[in-house]
Amino acid sequence: MGTVAELVRRQWNDHRTGLRDERTTLTHHQVAAGAAARAALLTELMPPRPGREPHLGLLLDNTPEYPLWLGAAALAGAAVAGINPTRRGAELARDIRHTDCRVLVTQRAHLPLLDGLPLPAGLRVLVTDTDAYATLLAPYGTATPHDTFLRPAARPDTRFLLSFTSGSTGAPKAAVCSQGRLAAAGASLVSHFRIRPDDTHYICMPMFHGNAVIADWAPALAAGADIALRARFSASRFLPDVRRFGATYFTYVGRAVQYLLATPPGPHDRDHRLRLGFGTEAGAADAARFEARFGARLVEGYGSSEGGAAIQRTPGTPAGAIGRAAPGDDLAVVDPETRRECPPARFSPTGVLLNADEAVGELVNRGRSPFEGYWRNPEADAARVRDSWYWTGDLFYRDTDGFLYFAGRTDDRLRVDSENLAAAMIENILARWERAAGVAVYAIPDPVAGDQVMAALALRPGTAFTPGAFAGFLAAQGDLGTKMPPKYVRVVPELPLTATNKIHRVALRRTALATADPVWWRPAPTAPYEPLTPAVRARLREEYARQGRPLPGDPPLSDCP
């Protein structure tokens, strides 16, 4: 197993274009030289000290400084914590302190975020777009990636990334990734997608998240491919960037694909070199729309910053499935209460999952897992690895041929009339509606017991929600089970997202019916959709109160005046 440092050194004799954004173009050689200069500076700023970890934080947009500092950390045997610039105040300070950062690299635009924060004592803050930074870096301009830095040479098990999970509840956990694991992940994607040195990887997802580094930067580094950066994801700039840079590969997370599809179509949508997008949560319907419009294939994958389980798409993967377990993984779908493997999924002729109650379970890796733990969080480690199995926290079901289908997060399970449902399955069906630009499905409490299905819909430009058209669409979906149609439909200007473009379901569940957005509801399963008027809300509030419950979105009854 190799190291990221070895991949950085390999660029030294390569004078082809290696890194670009709107303002900067660097060769692979210049990237290696820039990483070496920063590694030399880093060893001066963070000399080895007992009990002090060699960690630096990157509070940056996707500028060339980000991959340069990744390379520097690899050469210097340091670890990088990607700091999320959308976090604020105490949460932001907590991320920096929790990861024991001794150096924080940022830019002027993010300096106001640090004002007044209780930052660690002795933290050195470097601001990249300043004269002071250029002056500080200048004496190290003759460094090469083959120099011996103060720390021992990096090994495969040298800690390299501290990637915060993108969960929207509680303090995020920092997953550890070693140099060896990242180098191996890059090499695996190079082989799987046949990435070549003449490819150009477009990185538009935020680099503080594991997706951009593990699935985009690492394979480009392993293949010797060119990297093109967009500071922040922009749907309107996507195609111009792809054309300008000659991009052939990109990664996506969450609802980025829906935003791309919502842009106005044009006669030149296929005038580019793009051949592949790799990511998660696009959904089969949107993936098909993307390929039909732009001529580039989207491949849905499964993996996480933790690296505990991976699924690979192989030829013959059915529509809607993610794929099969990656080589070496012993993946199973199990009932988390009984620890027994769930039976295979059974489908009706129209594709309805007939035995969701028993077939949907949590995906676990029963074999050797590459999970390397969370930084200083033994409770999270214990929750993730139980009985020597790695528990992903994700719901799946498996067909009789062993193909795995994603069914959502464990906390996205709904129980309607004593039947278990998975939000992702319903979302994939609702996303087929031609007026839908984005869909989120989530549970709200039933007044008596269990859940009711609520959906948030963001509509395509120039369209409107008409209850009859939506009900007609639902009736035409042969794989929509009888418990799946949403009782409540909230029409939103756009879906709330986390910093990594994943739907912020916690925010949707929190507001539930207490929203100023238009909400439509069905008084009975076969009734037409009606507006949720103030009078209807009042009646529902009384119904919930009779059961000792607040209306979903209201404060607890004990807090009400």
For residue 161, the cross-strand partners are 80, 177
Rg (CA), the chain: 25
Helix (H) / strand (E) element for 27: namely strand 25-27
In the prediction, which pLDDT does 375 show?
A: 97
User: Which residues, at least 6 apart from 355, have a Cβ–Cβ distance to it below 8 Å?
Assistant: 343, 345, 346
Alpha-carbon gap, residue 360 to 523, rounded angstroms: 29
Supply the DSSP string of 100-158, one letter for each residue: T-SEEEE-GGGGGGGTT--PPTT-EEEETTSHHHHHHHGGGTT--TTS--SSPPP-TTS
In the prediction, which pLDDT does 168 show?
A: 42
Per-residue pLDDT of the chain (561 residues; tens, 9 = 90+): 699 999 999 999 999 999 999 999 999 999 999 999 999 999 999 988 888 899 999 999 999 999 999 999 999 999 999 999 988 888 899 999 999 999 999 999 999 999 999 999 999 999 999 999 999 999 999 999 999 886 778 999 999 999 998 544 457 899 999 999 999 999 999 999 999 999 999 999 999 988 899 999 999 999 999 999 999 999 999 999 999 999 999 999 867 898 899 899 999 999 999 999 999 878 777 888 999 999 999 998 887 778 889 898 888 898 888 999 877 789 999 999 899 999 999 988 877 788 888 998 999 999 988 899 999 999 999 999 998 999 998 889 999 999 999 887 777 778 787 677 878 889 989 999 999 999 999 999 888 777 899 999 999 999 999 999 999 999 999 888 888 999 999 999 999 988 777 788 888 988 999 999 999 999 988 899 999 999 999 999 998 888 778 899 988 755 544
Characterize the bridge pairing of strands 389-398 and 361-365. antiparallel
Residue written as tokens 């929600």? Answer: 465
CATH of region 4-178: 3.40.50.980
Alpha-carbon gap, residue 152 to 162, rounded angstroms: 20
In this structure, what token pair is assigned to residue 305? 């910053």
Classify residue 390 by its DSSP letter.
E
User: Which residues, at least 6 apart from 81, have a Cβ–Cβ distance to it below 8 Å?
Assistant: 55, 56, 57, 58, 95, 96, 99, 101, 162, 164, 174
Residue written as tokens 């007939």? Answer: 354
Q: Per CATH, the architecture of 438-559 is what?
A: 2-Layer Sandwich (3.30)
Alpha-carbon gap, residue 424 to 313, rounded angstroms: 19
Alpha-carbon gap, residue 401 to 173, rounded angstroms: 35
For residue 163, the cross-strand partners are 175
Characterize the bridge pairing of strands 200-203 and 124-127. unpaired
Please state, in angstroms and as integers, the Cα–Cα distance from residue 12 to each residue in 8, 16, 41, 146, 420, following that order.
8, 11, 19, 9, 56
Domain boundaries, the chain: 4-178, 311-412, 438-559
In 275-418, DSSP assigns E strands to 276-279, 297-300, 311-312, 324-325, 331-334, 361-365, 385-386, 389-398, 404-409, 413-416
User: Which residues, at least 6 apart from 516, have a Cβ–Cβ distance to it below 8 Å?
Assistant: none
Classify residue 45 by its DSSP letter.
H
In the prediction, which pLDDT does 557 show?
A: 58
In the prediction, which pLDDT does 169 show?
A: 45
- Produce one character per residue of 435-474: b if its CB has 16 or more CB atoms within 10 Å, e if not: bbbbbbbbbbbbbeeebbbbbbbbbeeeeebeeeebbebb
- C-alpha 185: how far from chain center: 17
In this structure, what token pair is assigned to residue 339? 């620890």
Residue written as tokens 């009990």? Answer: 51
In this structure, what token pair is assigned to residue 546? 């009779």
Q: What angle do CA 192, 69, 23 make, to 5 degrees?
A: 90
Residue written as tokens 């010797």? Answer: 224
Alpha-carbon gap, residue 380 to 390, rounded angstroms: 12
Does domain 311-412 correspond to CATH entry 2.40.240.10?
no
Q: In a 10 Å sphere around its CB, with 0-12 CB exposed, 13-18 middle and 19+ buried, how is residue 65 labelled? A: buried
